[in-house]
């Protein structure tokens, strides 16, 4: 079954806790992206990776960290430094410089 | 930085009506993309445009890449209830982070009460 998977669908974070959101793709795309979406807002870029072992900060990287050890995987960690983490998180993939395709998203809620 | 203005912010549709929405940019783009997002889901790509002046259809949807390279339009003909959702435009520009997309804030389509 091809595509982009994100897990979990819902995630709860306690104060001071780091949580990691998973994004996996089997489309053989080089580039992967993480976006944050707040209610009634567009998508804001957190981090992106053009290729394995390389990643760059997007517009709102503070309080987040990523890794890209495998082409298929681009996990996002929401650290305790992110003071307002409640949002819908979207992962996207695509050939670099071309169309991006989105996963189903993870909703993060703070307890 | 680059900005995208998408309008209208929201609109109500009655089944069978045609719908139009547009995006304008403060700078030139080399690609325009249109996505639809249903509640609680990720955006789904509807149409991709790669050349100025290009007009592309996908069923009842038609989108155009403006000749100035600074705007794009999406039309939905004969709307049906499942057209309800949020439509986003996205543009891809030139420069160092050329792989990155700039997104509009979305047009929310709802059914007329």
Quote the CA–CA distance of B66 and B106 in Å, as a whole number. Answer: 19
Q: Is the dihedral of CA B98, B32, A92, A110 positive or negative?
A: positive
Percent with pLDDT over 90 in chain B: 77
Contacts of B107 in chain A (CB under 8 A): none
Question: Mean pLDDT score of chain A, rounded to an integer?
Answer: 93
Q: How far is B88 from chain A (nearest CA, A)?
A: 8
Helix or strand or coil: residue A42? Answer: coil
Contacts of B91 in chain A (CB under 8 A): none
A–B interface: beta-carbon pairs under 8 A: 53
Reported as a single tens digit per residue, the pLDDT across B71-89 is: 999 999 999 999 999 999 9
pLDDT band at B55 (very low <50, low <70, confident <90, very high): very high
Q: What is the pLDDT, as a whole number, of residue B113?
A: 72
The pLDDT of residue B35 is above 90: yes
- Search chain B and give the residue with CA nearest A103: B42
Please provide the distance, in angstroms rounded to a whole number, between the alpha carbons at the two ends of chain A.
34
Nearest to B106 among A42, A45, A88 (CB): A42
Helix or strand or coil: residue A36? Answer: strand
Q: How far is B47 from chain A (nearest CA, A)?
A: 10
Instruction: Please give the average per-residue pLDDT across B1-24, as a whole number.
Output: 90
Longest dimension (CA), chain B: 47
| Pairwise CB contact (< 8 Å): A31 & B99 | yes
């Amino acid at each position: 079954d091809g595509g982009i998977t994100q897990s979990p669908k819902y995630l709860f974070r306690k104060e001071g806790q780091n949580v990691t959101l998973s994004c996996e793709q089997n489309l053989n795309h080089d580039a992967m992206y993480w976006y944050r979406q707040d209610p009634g807002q567009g998508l804001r870029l957190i981090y992106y990776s053009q290729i394995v072992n390389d990643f760059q900060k997007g517009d709102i990287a503070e309080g987040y960290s990523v890794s890209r050890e495998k082409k298929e995987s681009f996990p996002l960690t929401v650290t305790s430094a992110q003071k307002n983490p409640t949002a819908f998180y979207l992962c996207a993939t695509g050939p670099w410089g071309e169309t991006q395709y989105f996963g189903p998203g993870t909703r993060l809620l703070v307890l | 930085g680059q900005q995208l203005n998408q309008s209208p912010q929201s609109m109500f549709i009655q089944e069978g009506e045609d719908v139009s929405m547009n995006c304008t940019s403060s700078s030139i783009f080399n690609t325009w993309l249109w996505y639809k997002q249903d509640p609680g889901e990720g955006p789904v790509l509807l149409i991709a445009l790669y050349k100025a002046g290009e007009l592309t259809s996908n069923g009842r949807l038609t989108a155009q890449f403006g000749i100035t390279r600074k705007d794009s339009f999406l039309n939905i003909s004969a709307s049906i209830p499942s057209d309800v959702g949020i439509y986003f435009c996205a543009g891809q520009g030139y420069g160092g982070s050329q792989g990155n997309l700039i997104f509009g804030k979305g047009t929310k389509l709802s059914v007329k009460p």
